[in-house]
Structure formats: C-alpha cells, structure tokens
Chain A
C-alpha cells in the first residue's frame, strides 16, 4: 500500500513538473539534436583555458575546453578535440553568458557538436547538446543526465514538448542505451 502511494505521489510530482519551453533556448528534440550535430562524442575534460577573442564589435572572453575523446557516435574525431565557449575569466575580469555550460576537469559528457562551427556555443541548442555522464558505482554502469542534472529516463524526455519523466527515470538511462538510440536514429536517417 505504502509503495503504491509512493508511486502515485511520484507520478503526480513528475506530471506537475511538466515543462513547455525555455525563455532563452527552445529545447531541441532528440531527433533535432542528432540531426543538428556534426559530431557526437563521449569526452572527458582534459584542460580548459580562457583567452580574448576579437570580434567586429569588440573583445569577448572565450574558454577553450579540451576533451579526451572516448568514443565517437557520429562524425570523425581524433583522440583529442577542443571546443570554444563564449565567456570565462582572465585575470580579475570575468564574462558570463547566462546558460552557457561550464566544465570541470575530469568531467565526462556526451557532446552534440553543432554543424555550424562558429556560434555562441558549439553545442546544438546551446546547453542542451551536453549530457552529463555519471558512474553508478554499485553496478559500474555509466548513466546519463541532462545538462542541468535531471535524470534522463529515455530520449522521449528530450525536447520542447518533452514527456514528463517516467518513473523509470528515477534511475537515469544507461549511457549504452543513449548510444543505441543515437545509432538507431542515425541508421534511420541513412536509410532515407
């Protein structure tokens, strides 16, 4: 009885938390994430540094994040790649682009890198093209969360009209399942 009540409570909670769209970025669907990416890879942050970037309207700070490439699901990459994000800190001056992903050393992510090389963010959908990987230490399984740390139950929960997280998403989906979904989506695209 208690378990059933708990499940009902959880179901009610996640249904009430359903969202429509972002004020800043319209969350891309899973299909749009895959289709909009030139490369999709699993990477670990090896280094990051900030530098000045001269643009037609002045100088910005950008942060260059270097990844050790563990696995490539779409496109071609070498063993190491680097992505450039607007914002960062140089000396006593900082520039923040609100919503821009930030990375810490050693962190592992799945990254959907945009087809359009020079954008505010190199990722599809600014921050949505980044999925965090966490290691389930009990089962030694890699699991996946969204850019903001929400448990991702399955790929139907990605996107502007994303489904309310299912109860299954209390345990985030496995990295292997996300890879299968991406590869399946790419297979469908190739058949067309």
Chain B
C-alpha cells in the first residue's frame, strides 16, 4: 500500500468515525455578518416619556438598556454599551447604531402590521458588521411587562431583546427549518426572556468559552508521537520532503489546540479564529461547550486540512517563517495527529496510541480504542 493510499485509508477511517460521533445540530440560526471583538455602542433616542410602565421601569431608554444588559450577561467578546438620550442624527449608513421611535424607517413608512425593524450594514467580503439600527413603530401601543402577551399592549422589552439579537447577528431559527423555543423565532408565544437557544446563539458568536471537560495529553507526548511519525514517513514510507513553513512542534501544538476547540463543540471557523488568536497573543479562549458524554466528536478531515492550510499561510505570511522541509505533508499531519488524539481521548496511553496509529499506517485498519 502506498503512502498516499495509506493516508487515504486513514482519512476515510477518520471520516467514518467523525460521522458516527458528530454532535447534534444546533437550533439557533446565524446571519452572515458579525461584529469584531469590542464594544458596540447603541445610541438610545427613545425618550423618557413613558411614565411608569407595568414592570415599574420609568423610561423607554431604561427598558432598552436593560435588554442590552441582558444580552451582555451572556456574551464576552463583544459588549453593548448605551448612550442615553443620544442626539445624533437618525441616519442610515452613518456608522452610528441608532435606536428610536418613528413612523418611518429611514424615509420609508411603517405599515400597520410592523412593530419594529432592525437593519444592519456590513462588508460583503469580510462579513464584518458596520452598523445596526433599530426603529420602533411609534403608532403602536407600547408597554413593558413580563408574562403572557397582553392584548393591546406590545411588550417593548421582549421586542427590544429580539431586535438586539438581530443586531448581534442572530437570525430567526424558525425560518431556517428549526423548531426550538427561542425569542429569536420570527413568531413567539408568551416567551418573555431569552431562551437557552438564544443564549447559545449569542455565545457561539461572542462567547469567550468554557473550560473544557476533556483532558488532552501533555504537550511532550504528541510531540514525541510526531517525531516517531516523521521517522515512519522517512524510513519506512520513504516519503519525499515537502516544503513547509510550520515546524514540527508548531504543527503538533496548533493541531492539538484546533482539536481541543472542535472537541469542545466549536465550529471550524471559531476554532481557527481562537487558535490564531493564541498564536497572535491576542487572547486565549475556552471551548464553546462542554463535550457531551459518550464518543468524543472529531472534526471532518477536510476541515482539519483547511485549518492546516490556513496555518501554513499564517506562518508564511503572518509570522514570516522561513520555508523548511518535512517528510510529512499537510494531509498526513492532519490525519495522523487527529487519529493519535482520538486514541488518547478514548483512554489509550501514549505508547498504545502511537502503536495503533503506526498499525493503521501499515494498512492494518482502524484499531479499537481503549475504553
């Protein structure tokens, strides 16, 4: 069996394992754009003339501030701030995030059925949000209360929570085939607060993460594995050297970090962003969620390879690393390091995991894990 065939067999095995251990699909739905990390300042121009509302709050700005604060308790990388009684002009595409009552949405009148509208401006190429505005229809009867929806009084608080969810980058899950309890659904029942699905959506965009409940092996052991893998490729597979910008230690460390985020239920893009953030020393984040009991979920091979390709580019263009050579190509590194980690995370020791991977490389098939 050639090196390429063996790598392909390993890839296929990894794919099969991945398909059988993938996490359940999420419920929330995301827009194609999000804010860069930092503060999103909302210009509140709702006025103070609400009187005392049913929930005891005495101004619309305060209700909106409370809704913003509610989102803030669930997100980390982006935080809302509020400018009270802002006086900036109410204009579209001006870089300001305006929140106000009006009969029009930037020149176009509301129809009778619409309570509020959120609009977003963004860069198409990068998906970076530039501006988000919310306009509440001033011809409607508003109040603020908890509990079931009341006839003749629209609850400003829950509508604001919903619209600010759009400003963050959340879409309507029920318009994307999801059937979940969520305030971000296009139609809601009597839900008056963020549901777990809404929070999961917000955290998927801007959560700093949680501490993983999965123990990864100490760094020296994957490094040792990789050195043995190099020897197998060089001496047994007679692999020709290929150009690489990532040294062996970088390959192992960052692939392991990528796997740690994926096992912690981060998607591919989030995992890559967080690894690169660690490389750039701009922040080290936790994983996205605790790993559920049972088989450990691993990323598909193509995404691991995408990550490795991006890592090469990062070292070459971002870190200005010099070109070197390796007996292991990107695909081999991804497939076998992830296989090694899969054995390790399923209770195999360093020696056993290394042996099992080498047996796979020699064409002896997928080996049983050690659970």
Contacts and interface: CB of A to CB of B under 8 A. Distances in A.
Given A22-B187, A120-B114, A59 B93 contact: yes
B371 interface: no
Contacts of B110: 119-120
A87 interface: yes
Contacts of A24: 114-118, 159, 162-163, 186
A149 B124 CA distance: 26
Contacts of B23: none
A121 interface: yes
B90 A57 contact: yes
Contacts of B109: 116, 118-120
Interface in A16-36: 17-28
Given A60-B92, A118-B109, A119-B109, A23 B119 contact: no
A148 B108 contact: no
A84 to B, nearest CB: 10
Interface in A72-99: 86-87, 89, 91-99
Contacts of B111: 114, 116, 119-121, 124-126
A172 B111 CA distance: 28
Nearest to A32: B113
A121 B114 CA distance: 10
A91 B121 CA distance: 13
A20 B186 contact: no
B188 A22 contact: yes
A140 to B, nearest CB: 25
B122 interface: yes
A94 B122 contact: yes
Contacts of B92: 55, 57-60, 95
B108 A120 contact: yes
A17 B179 CA distance: 8
B186 A22 contact: yes
Interface in A91-110: 91-99
Contact of B113 (A91, A118, A125): A125
Given A18-B189, A148-B186, A98 B90 contact: no
B105 interface: yes
A187 interface: no
B125 interface: yes
A12 interface: no
Nearest to A22: B187
Nearest to A87: B119
A120 B122 contact: no
A19 B189 contact: yes
Contact of B119 (A97, A118, A127): A97
A155 to B, nearest CB: 17
B124 A89 contact: yes
Given A59-B93, A60-B106, A118-B108, A92 B124 contact: yes
Contacts of B344: none
B166 interface: yes
Contacts of A27: 113, 187
Nearest to B140: A26
B33 interface: yes
Interface string B1-41: 00000000000000000000000000000010100000000
Contact of B121 (A56, A93, A124): A93
B188 A25 contact: no
A55 B106 contact: yes
Interface stretch (B170-178, B239-247, B311-319): B170-178
A20 B33 contact: no
Nearest to B123: A92
Contacts of A96: 31, 33, 119-120, 122
Interface in B96-147: 104-111, 113-125
A27 B186 CA distance: 10
Given A93-B121, A96-B31, A19 B175 contact: no
B190 interface: yes
B119 A93 contact: no
A17 to B, nearest CB: 7
Contact of B175 (A60, A114, A116, A148): A148
A99 B172 contact: yes
A160 to B, nearest CB: 9
A18 B186 CA distance: 13
Contact of A119 (B89, B108, B115, B177): B108
A98 B166 contact: yes
A128 interface: yes
B105 A86 contact: yes
Given A94-B123, A95-B119, A148-B174, A23 B114 contact: no
B166 A55 contact: no
A23 B116 contact: yes
Given A20-B149, A96-B31, A148-B186, A26 B108 contact: no
Interface of A: 17-28, 55-60, 86-87, 89, 91-99, 114, 116, 118-121, 124-128, 147-149
Q: Which 6 A-B pairs have the closest CB atoms?
A: A55-B107, A23-B162, A148-B175, A58-B91, A98-B166, A19-B187
